[in-house]
Structure 1
């Protein structure tokens, strides 16, 4: 059985030959048995993820994390030893069918639940993108995902989003919370529109001051676009309460995220407990919803 390390070397050799335009028909046929026919699907997926890994970021975050999550599901499908060249239309049909009944593998879930339709669609698109890469490297003749019958595709389900009204937001911000740092993080995300991933990765160096006004200037984790957001007095106050000092006193050289002390596990459960105590009981609000409630006073 060929090792994962050898698989990685084979993958890099093929990529190198392609970049040098040396992957001729003769070369390809000569190397086919030793390279192409020995690359495992999950190893190729890992290499695809590694190529999109942002330096300094954890493996299971961002685009690379979304790709790596496929590996868990491929293993659950029983495809741990499946070779890339064995991925055909039947395999793709099996994978899509599996996803429709698969359990969400996020470790923080207290009770198992099935994957959301939007998550299934995302994983299908990512898997198809991985296979497109294999076609580009000439490891597959075509992407079998493109051959799937329409019944095997999953359409995005448009769900009605829950929002907090401005009066509800003010009510929540005034309500006490058993987890003060959670309250500040949620309040800051409402005031700035930052996603959860951007709140959790926010550092002192991301805070800049121009003409007497503080801004958040950082690269968005999800889209990789640069954000420049002016901070209201309320947003500044959130940050000062969270850090225990004035913004001007923050150590800009410190690499630790400002909200690193806030555990991400059971975050939405704690959030809903706080909202319930604030009188918000008729809406299903998660930390993700806050970026759609952006307000300025």
Structure 2
């Protein structure tokens, strides 16, 4: 029997809220498998009533296209993750598809019903080294163009690449709705994102004891530009770090968001829920 367990559902929120970014298809470290429906049932019980399912490789994107038709609590997003694009570009992807072929499939899937996001796309300078950066930048720019072409929200993955991500968005022109998924910048970057009209999504790591810089970034972000997410099954919020994350844990992260912003919990939930619907439309 696995010793890896799922995080325990927290207390229910006083108002509904959306998990802005999760991966319900990802298995995680030998935890007992749970279906998307089970995870969403658990989330709904604590007030996390809807979610954005993200497919960031071809298999996950195909799964997402099916899942969002099967469950009305989900809308979806698809992209080639920044760490996937260089593998396709090098002709080394297990699928056998080169970059252009892979992007063409993402473009097709992005046009399906209930797709609301192009993402997660962007730059990752942690897991992909300098040799892959050109392919990442090409992919990021192609996804920006796709989001604008199909009129979908852009969700950005940014790891140790803040300056280049911001520069490309400025040079190419960001889509109308641009979200920094799992924001990892500082307060100065948050202020710049807010000034440019971007949306900043905070995950469970904003609750970590050593995340003072991230909470400082949250503190200077207008509530109207704040979103909340799990990035499940990753980044389980404190005090359940080490357990497997799921959409219900948005209810824990919302406590920190409301506290840092100096707002009531119900007010913060209502505002974030309204922002989510403004970006993604009705479920």
TM range (shorter): under 0.3
Greater percentage in helix? 1
Structure having greater relative contact order (Cα 8 Å, sep ≥ 6): 2
Relative to the length of structure 2, the TM-score reads 0.24
| Structure whose alpha-carbon radius of gyration is higher | 1
**Structure richer in strand, relative to its length:** 2
